[in-house]
């Protein structure tokens, strides 16, 4: 429901297929994240690019939630969904920081991963049914990952990140949180996960802040949104890095952008 409402607002106030509208609404965009927009890791989970993207993801959510709700329950499923979405966006940010990324696909792959964890972990009460479900879910995951390779518009790294994190979360839920485990162990695991995420975000942000492309991409977005002041600020920062690196090609591009702003 949240995904649908946000998509409707995006269509009313902008265009869900317009990159600028997507960024303004909170899509994942590495240069902006490195400047402190860390909330985009969360907000981008609920933003969808076009009606087809929204419908396919909503159908997938319904299917995988129905499969998992009797296993984990609503609260644990929500935790898996959000955590997988965040981790999916983290991997996307780390490996493809200059792409504009949005959608709940990473979180959906996380729910699929948690179901895969259940099928691998559960005792084989019905071995044949378990094997059929395991083969079925594996084929669905494989087809979607292969399709993601063939279509450059699809953020396959987010899918992989969601699948891995969902699988891990599923194992943790099944093996730890269903039993009387020491609170210290639970909190330690949670702290380790959070610190690992924060460390990776910090390292990638540090790299991007020293990457000339970060400022050029940001400036181009600001130019398109008619924010000349911020665009010039980004280009001045880019120019300083270009001078230090003796990057004449980038300097020429930066100067052309500055000229276009001053016209």
Residues with a catalytic annotation lie at 105, 159
CA 255 to CA 65: how far, in whole Å? 52
Coil/strand/helix, residue 31: helix
Q: What are the tokens at 237?
A: 């920062």
Beta carbons of 109 and 61 less than 8 angstroms apart: no
* Residue matched to tokens 């990776």: 200
Element (H, E) at 11: helix 2-13
* Residue matched to tokens 């016209």: 263
Q: CB-based contacts of 222: which residues, under 8 Å, 6+ apart?
A: 228, 230, 231, 234
β-bridge partners, 101: 28
- Convert 173-218 into a string of H (helix), E (strand) and C (coil): HHHCCCCCCCHHHHHHHHHHHHHHHHHHHHHHHHHHHCCHHHHHHH
Instruction: List Cα–Cα distances, 255 to 102, 168, 218, 249, in angstroms.
Output: 32, 48, 15, 10
* Residue matched to tokens 């996307």: 92
In order, the DSSP letters of 60-96 are: HHHHHHHHHHHHH-HHHHHHHHHHHHHHHHHHHHHH-
């Amino acid at each position: 429901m949240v995904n649908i409402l946000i998509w409707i607002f995006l269509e009313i106030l902008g265009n869900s297929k317009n990159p600028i509208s997507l960024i303004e609404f909170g899509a994942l965009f590495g240069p902006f994240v490195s400047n402190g927009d860390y909330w985009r890791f969360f907000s981008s989970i609920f933003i969808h690019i076009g009606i087809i993207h929204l419908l396919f993801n909503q159908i997938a959510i319904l299917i995988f939630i129905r499969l998992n709700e009797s296993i984990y329950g609503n609260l644990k499923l929500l935790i898996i969904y959000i955590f997988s979405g965040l981790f999916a966006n983290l991997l996307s940010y780390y490996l493809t920081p200059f792409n504009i990324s949005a959608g709940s696909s990473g979180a959906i792959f996380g729910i699929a991963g948690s179901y895969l964890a259940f099928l691998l972990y559960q005792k084989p009460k019905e071995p044949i049914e378990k094997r059929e479900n395991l083969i079925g879910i594996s084929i669905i995951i494989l087809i979607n990952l292969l399709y993601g390779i063939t279509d450059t518009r699809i953020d396959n790294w987010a899918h992989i990140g969601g699948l891995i994190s969902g699988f891990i979360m599923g194992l943790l839920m099944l093996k730890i949180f269903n039993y009387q485990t020491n609170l210290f162990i639970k909190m330690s695991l949670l702290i380790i996960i959070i610190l690992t995420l924060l460390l990776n975000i910090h390292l990638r942000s540090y790299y991007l802040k020293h990457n000339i492309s970060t400022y050029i991409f940001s400036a181009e977005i600001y130019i398109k949104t008619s924010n000349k002041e911020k665009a010039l600020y980004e280009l001045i920062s880019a120019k300083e890095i270009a001078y230090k690196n003796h990057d004449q090609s980038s300097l020429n591009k930066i100067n052309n952008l500055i000229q276009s702003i001053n016209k």
